[in-house]
Amino acid sequence: MCRWMAWMGQSILIDELLFKTQHGIVDQSLHSRMGAEPTNGDGFGLGWYGAGEGPGVYHSVAPAWGDENLRELAAHAESPLFLAHVRAAIGSPIQATNCHPFRRDRWLFVHNGFIADFHLLRRDLMLAVDPTQFAEVVGSTDSEVVFHLALTVGLESDPIGALERTVGLIESVAREHGVTAPVQATFGVSDGECLWAVRYATEGPARSLFASADVETLKRLHPDNPRVQRFTDGDRVIVSEPFADLPGAWQEIPEATAVCVRRGGELEERPFEPRVEAPALKA
Amino acid sequence: MCRWMAWMGQSILIDELLFKTQHGIVDQSLHSRMGAEPTNGDGFGLGWYGAGEGPGVYHSVAPAWGDENLRELAAHAESPLFLAHVRAAIGSPIQATNCHPFRRDRWLFVHNGFIADFHLLRRDLMLAVDPTQFAEVVGSTDSEVVFHLALTVGLESDPIGALERTVGLIESVAREHGVTAPVQATFGVSDGECLWAVRYATEGPARSLFASADVETLKRLHPDNPRVQRFTDGDRVIVSEPFADLPGAWQEIPEATAVCVRRGGELEERPFEPRVEAPALKA
Amino acid sequence: MCRWMAWMGQSILIDELLFKTQHGIVDQSLHSRMGAEPTNGDGFGLGWYGAGEGPGVYHSVAPAWGDENLRELAAHAESPLFLAHVRAAIGSPIQATNCHPFRRDRWLFVHNGFIADFHLLRRDLMLAVDPTQFAEVVGSTDSEVVFHLALTVGLESDPIGALERTVGLIESVAREHGVTAPVQATFGVSDGECLWAVRYATEGPARSLFASADVETLKRLHPDNPRVQRFTDGDRVIVSEPFADLPGAWQEIPEATAVCVRRGGELEERPFEPRVEAPALKA
Amino acid sequence: MCRWMAWMGQSILIDELLFKTQHGIVDQSLHSRMGAEPTNGDGFGLGWYGAGEGPGVYHSVAPAWGDENLRELAAHAESPLFLAHVRAAIGSPIQATNCHPFRRDRWLFVHNGFIADFHLLRRDLMLAVDPTQFAEVVGSTDSEVVFHLALTVGLESDPIGALERTVGLIESVAREHGVTAPVQATFGVSDGECLWAVRYATEGPARSLFASADVETLKRLHPDNPRVQRFTDGDRVIVSEPFADLPGAWQEIPEATAVCVRRGGELEERPFEPRVEAPALKA
């Protein structure tokens, strides 16, 4: 359920990756191969940095494959950093406020996966959201609450640490409610400067997640692919599942791992270790 | 912001009142005369009792005046009891989960008005909702929270009493937050057997609300109106603002008043007296 | 591309067949097994005879599987005769006016298949539509033009004959434009009294089409299926692909065949023989 | 019915004019003052030149005032030339293919007004469209047919002349059908280099149309308006009705007049004289 992708690098027309790749995210809305469901037709979202103040967000409840406005927007907006997400709803309503990316100020957030038995945990988790931000939660997804929890425990100063504390908090609340294996997730986060991604599940295999190889490797592997040859140092793609036309160009992000991509394309990897912190629990 | 109507009486095609009256609710979506705004184009809702289990609910984010599906549904569904609502959003998203009527089991609820500074009160009010029902609040309106508060404090056994306790609770929470004049409301409630309506504002004039005169009076007033001549004893309409083609046929429901319409069309009126009860506050 | 079903028999709640069967039409919107595409998420339509004047029509551009209004309507509308259709768009816009069933007066029409190279033929075919009805063609599908051609050449007095003349006309126009194998179709038609269905392709296998066995056979085959046991003489279902929970209960409608179901459930079968008639060509 | 605006000048964020002006086009969707209807809530369209190939087009069936995606797009897209349009449907369906601007290649077209008794004329007018382009007419508005007629008779080489021939053709066809006063129109056209506008009605006052004064005048009139002070030579706005915060800054475009704005902001005015040309009629 759900697939996402993120681009960081040179400024490109967004449709270059959304529509013009083989098995890009829009194709995955109709024919996902590695996701929990082949069809991700319950909404689309794009968050992009570019002209104007902060990131723009486009949310649609129409399936991505048939959304003409998305096609137009993608073909006429350039961006050096964007995140796109296709949704397969599992119970929660199909509405724009349930579409990713979620945004506050300069921050964008996407999630593939779920909080198990979320209806049992929702009240306690929403109580842990900063009370002054409570009214900002306007949809009904688990993902939006995860984002606001992460903001509450410091996403803006320490993204990965805040997600570790958030997941720790969720696992702790879940334990109290007798919910096992509560967190299944890949996360994508950006502030317009860096791009962070996480792959983690409390139990069992986490949803798939891949990063593109460094640009030199890509070019060597695909000397005849004009799109790849236009890549420059510092271009990096993170995807739920690889584009089909670039075999060998992807490195799987291991389980329980966080990565950070900075300007220049450097990819840092570190373990993702959820933990419960006293202050977080009190919040 | 918002207009609503309710019908209780003989089983009729719904469009008889939605589309075929002069200045019916659909016309009010485009040209409200007595509402806070002339345009109520931010969504429509219809709840109707008839075939099938419990009431059906149709919610649309399209303006009522141009919604072909609504026109079709209304022209092909018969019902002895229905509520319809047109919405003018004031800040909260235009989405189906924010459209009235709200429903639980056999119960329907509509609201015209607002909770002032709802963003300040939302957390405390949601905490007062029965924790086992917390996850059922899936939209972001004040009205949905009001409905769930009323359910928490006994709507299903004592509708008007529960609304009095709910309004009392809201006024009490508002006082703690320094919010004055928090409640502006007309409410409509039904369980399929009876129809309850409330007109109340903490301060100042409440939103307009009218009940149709008894059928004998209607027929005497409008001997040439074929629609009226088809009315039978027991038919009753409650409206935010009167249909234009029935002058003299409406009695204004006074401020701070609740009415109850039972099968047979009898209209009982009583004062609406918000109050804070200890158990309600604990809930 | 596209799947449809039709019910004729006792009056039932529509969701009994749309949602409560295994692999019913709504499930086929997400997981078609015998269609040209597994996903039919580009719009839904329902036409039903029941309360009110003529058939009601519900058209939605949202995928059927996630459409709450459809779920509500189907659960609260009873009908002795209805047609439902899920759409996989092939080029033409996703909009309500492109959703089936198409309607004129008491007549409903659905189509699964396509007119090959329709953009080459559209002008000539629209010129063959009765000029006084030209402005009624408001969408951009081949199917809507087929319906208006059939109306032009006598659908209302001789449905199968009119469809034979329509297909003959299309094949003739196609020949002039050098288009081979122009017609791929199953059609469903009703006037509220009878139900007609056609399976035909100019070349190659036509889209799949099945009729339910007579009720006695159904009951003998499925003694433990409570839905089947509620069937009465005269109940008949026509489907693009069978419901999964009724093995052995379906008879395939042969290629180049038309069937007619009348009140009582009797199924008449005859060859479908497209032909060009001078008057039709002149029209 | 309908309002539109066009910007040509320095590259600006689109929301600067759509949302940040007083009584801009989005406000006119809810509160038009000079239009035939106060509410223009039946769809929105934006066509903008900027990044990517040719103009982008955003069409929405939601009312402009509540469309979050429009707000986002406008706040994050820069353009030196764009046209925006709000629609009040008069009979034709509310669907994206009926939203303006219409586009072919680099050309955009908007229309405020109507072809009287269009249902009587539609067939003859569509027959006059270049047969090879017939299948490109995918909506059901008069405006789309006008655009394709204009393309047929030379819009791309002589925009005003082609519109004169188009209007002449329509008036001629209308006469044959006994339709008087067939054309009520303001038109806006662009190829990304120039901006053309027309104000014309066969009879009676044409819809309102205004051009902004030259930038020097604007600055002198509004020394304290920071938006105006940011204007540079060559900035020009064409609007159905003036923004409210710039009194004295607008010149009404006379009836039966065409204007052309070129890079640099120069505004040329000429009479608009519909005429019938033999070749056009044959087409």
Mean predicted lDDT score pLDDT of chain D: 92
Nearest by Cα to A27 from A68, A73, A65, A75: A65
Average pLDDT, stretch A54-63? Answer: 95
- Which residue in A30, A66, A94 is closest to C66 by CB distance? A94
Report the alpha-carbon distance of residue A257 to residue A255 in Å, rounded.
Answer: 5
Residue of D nearest to B67 (CA): D94
Cβ proximity of A202 and A182 under 8 Å: yes
Tokens matching residue B100: 């009235």
Q: Cα separation of A80 and A70, whole Å?
A: 18
Name the residue among C51, C73, C75 with its Cβ closest to that of B13.
C51
Residues of chain B with pLDDT under 70: 1, 278-283
For residue D245, pLDDT over 80 is answered with: no
- Mean pLDDT along residues C169-179: 97
| B139 phi, psi to nearest 5 deg | -105, -165
Residue A280 has pLDDT above 80, yes or no: no
Considering only CB atoms, D66 lies closest to which of B38, B68, B89, namely: B89
Burial bucket for residue A270 (CB in 10 Å: 0-12, 13-18, 19+): exposed
Contact check, Cβ <8 Å, A76/D56: yes
Length of chain C: 283
Q: With 60 as the cut, is the pLDDT of residue A238 above it?
A: yes
Please determine, for residue C251, whether its predicted confidence score (pLDDT) is greater than 80. yes
- Give kind and range of the element (H or E) at residue A82: strand A78-86
Cis before D131? omega within 30: no
What are the residues facing B270 on neighbouring strands?
A: B258
The ipTM value here is 0.93
CA distances from A281 to A155, A170, A181, A202 (A): 16, 10, 19, 19
> Dihedral, CA atoms, A263, A269, A273, A277, nearest 10 degrees?
-30
D177-214 pLDDT tens trace: 999 999 999 999 999 999 999 999 999 899 999 999 98
Give tens-digit pLDDT for C179-219.
999 999 999 999 999 999 999 999 989 999 999 998 888 88
Instruction: Tell whether the model's pLDDT for residue C96 goes beyond 80.
Output: yes
What is the C-alpha separation between A147 and B32, in angstroms, rounded?
Answer: 40
Reported confidence tier of residue C141, pLDDT bands at 50, 70, 90? very high
Q: What is the pTM of this model?
A: 0.94
Q: What is the pLDDT of residue D226?
A: 85
Chain B residues whose beta carbon lies within 8 Å of the beta carbon of residue D42: 63, 66
pLDDT tens for A91-141 read: 788 999 999 999 999 999 999 999 999 999 999 999 999 999 999 999 999
Side-chain half-sphere exposure of A49, counting CA atoms within 13 A: 21
Mutation choice for B interface testing from A61, A126, A138 by most B CBs within 10 A: A138
Contact A95 B97 (CB under 8 A): yes
Phi, psi (5° rounding) for residue C221?
Answer: -70, -35
Region C236-246: mean pLDDT is 87
Express each pLDDT in D134-147 by its tens digit: 999 999 999 999 99
What is the per-residue pLDDT for B280? 45
Contact B96 A95 (CB under 8 A): yes
Distance, CA of D118 to CA of B33 (rounded, Å): 33
Average pLDDT, chain C: 92
Contacts of B96 in chain A (CB under 8 A): 93, 95
Mean pLDDT within A42-57: 96
CA A37, A41, A47: angle at the middle one, nearest 5?
Answer: 110
Chains with 3+ CB–CB pairs under 8 A to B are A, C, D
Q: Which two tokens stand for residue D24?
A: 């801009």
Report, as an integer, the average pLDDT of D265-283. 78
Does position C283 have pLDDT exceeding 70, yes or no? Answer: no
Give me the helix-helix angle, D118-127 and D159-176, nearest 10°. 120
List the single best residue of B134, B137, B148 to mutate versus A (max A Cβ within 10 A): B134
**Are A45 and A141 in contact, with CB atoms under 8 Å apart?**
no
CA distance B96 to chain C (A): 9
In chain D, which residue's Cα lies nearest the Cα of C126? Answer: D123
pLDDT at D235 exceeding the cut of 70:
yes
Instruction: Give the gap in angstroms from C-alpha B253 to the nearest C-alpha of chain C.
Output: 32
Residue A1: band (very low, low, confident or very high) from pLDDT cuts 50, 70, 90: low
What are D33's two structure tokens? Answer: 């003052």
- Best of B27, B39, B71, B140 to disrupt the D interface by mutation (most D CBs within 10 Å)? B39
Nearest by CB: D122 against C92, C119, C134: C134
Q: Do B134 and A118 touch (CB under 8 A)?
A: no
